[in-house]
Copies of this chain bind each other. A is one copy, B any other.
Amino acid sequence: MNLKEELVQIASKSREAARSMAKLTSPVKNQILKDTAELLLTRQEEIIKINQGDVQKAKEKNLSSSLIDRLTLTPQRIKGMVDGLADVINLPDPVGEVVKMWKRPNGLQVGKMRVPIGVIGFIYESRPNVTIDATALCLKSGNAIILRGGSEAFDSNQILVDILKTALQKNKVSGDAVQYIPVTDRQAVSELVKLDEYIDLIIPRGGKDLIRTVVEQSTIPVIKHYKGVCSVYLEADADPELALNITLNSKVQRPGVCNAIENLLVHKDIAETLMPGILAELQKAGVEIRGDDDVCRIFPSAKPVTEADWSTEYLEKIISVKVVENIEAAIDFISRYDSRHSESIVTKDYFKAQKFIREVDSSAVFVNASTRFNDGFELGLGAEIGISTDKLHARGPMGLEELTCLKFIVYGEGQIRG
């Protein structure tokens, strides 16, 4: 059997398992997640031992310490997975909800019912706990999942998938509902994303190259979790305390994530008054300031910013700062350089707030709040499988509801079309 045939076999088993998954009741789905949690705890030593093998190999390959950190499973991280499963158990089951129902003049009763998407191909890198987190959400929403993880976490992912399959089988559900691509060859991704006959959605979560490969090759719909180049804009009338707190929080509370900001836009009227103090606080927090001509003049320890900086996702303690003429210039800047992820305005002006909310075309637009809240838990969706940077189907945090789709249901009494 060649690679393609092997993948077709996996995918067609998933398609079959998806039909059973769609019919499961909430108690059964929750029991599968409970059993998974229990198995994670009872098999903890074994998991950690296998994971140490992956970590050892990563060290031998001289992989970066941040990658090795993400790869490593500890009792605390296993507890994190168990807690995550409990969260998903507590979330309402989205399947079967009729979100709307109306009656047509001919008496037809028409509704839209939430149903699972079907088979989800999930392509991710390095962190093995994502195996459990992502699968929990897919199973709770009634889908089958095909996992393709990073090669460094191969053995760790295998045992986690084994646990998931055991939990499925304990509940008389086919283990095929969770499958792992047993090939680390990159070609497997290229073949997988072309199996549109069997797979309904591809979610890639990883670096730029992975996402580009998937987007270019996939014949299956893709929802990307791509980069975040985000801005805070300080209006002329911004409350000084809010301006400082929101800028600092958006940049330094956790700089390595997609909803942290890379750009700060400052209205020209407060460039000489409010801005220097904020930039000084950012520097104190270890942030490197890169500024346009105005910024460098007013705050001489700033380095000159380059054109490329404005659209770079640093994921580090670096910020690019620009003085702008007015809110229109700020919105123009965002539309030109930012990645439509998370943007915030700090202002006391009602009309400016409303204008920013309406006109900024990002997955989440904030008034007087940190961009760091663009997150499934923080916005109240419960868990999330990622933050979509696409506009279609799911925009922003993607939770259980976004792992379902809506079909029309129509109750008639013999109506025919005239």
Contact = CB atoms under 8 A, between A and B. Distances in A.
B361 A407 contact: yes
9 contacts: A223-B392, A246-B414, A249-B416, A365-B410, A366-B412, A368-B411, A369-B412, A369-B413, A392-B393
A369 B409 CA distance: 11
Interface in A354-381: 357-359, 361-370, 372-374, 378-380
Interface of A: 19, 22-23, 96, 102, 104, 108, 110, 113, 115, 117-118, 196, 200-201, 215-216, 219, 221-223, 239, 241-242, 245-246, 248-249, 253, 335, 353, 357-359, 361-370, 372-374, 378-380, 390-393, 395-397, 405-417
A361 B118 contact: yes
A358 B358 CA distance: 38
B413 A368 contact: yes
Contacts of A412: 366-370, 373
Given A104-B380, A368-B412, A369-B411, 13 more contacts: A115-B361, A221-B390, A242-B414, A245-B416, A357-B411, A363-B408, A364-B409, A369-B414, A379-B410, A392-B392, A395-B406, A395-B408, A397-B408
Contact of A396 (B108, B372, B378, B408): B408
A287 B368 CA distance: 66
B361 A417 contact: no
Contacts of A366: 410, 412
A361 B395 contact: no
Contacts of A108: 369, 373, 378-379
Nearest to A18: B361
Counting from the closest, the 5 A-B pairs by CB-CB distance are A369-B412, A249-B416, A364-B408, A393-B393, A392-B393
Contacts of A365: 407-410
A195 to B, nearest CB: 13
A360 B322 CA distance: 55
B392 A405 contact: yes
Number of chain copies forming the complex: 2
B241 A392 contact: no
A19 B248 CA distance: 30
A219 B216 contact: yes
A376 to B, nearest CB: 11
A136 B335 CA distance: 25
A249 B417 contact: yes
A319 B170 CA distance: 44
B380 A110 contact: yes
Contact of A391 (B118, B216, B357, B410): B118
Contacts of A216: 219
Contacts of A196: 215
A298 to B, nearest CB: 25
Nearest to A412: B369
A391 B143 CA distance: 13
B110 A391 contact: no
Nearest to A375: B417
Nearest to A404: B391
Contacts of A96: 358
A274 to B, nearest CB: 15
Contact of A414 (B241, B374, B396, B417): B241
Nearest to A355: B23
Given A359-B23, A393-B392, A395-B407, A102 B414 contact: no
Chain B CB within 10 Å, residue with most, of A365, A390, A393: A393
Contacts of A246: 414, 416
Given A395-B405, A407-B363, A410-B379, A415 B369 contact: yes
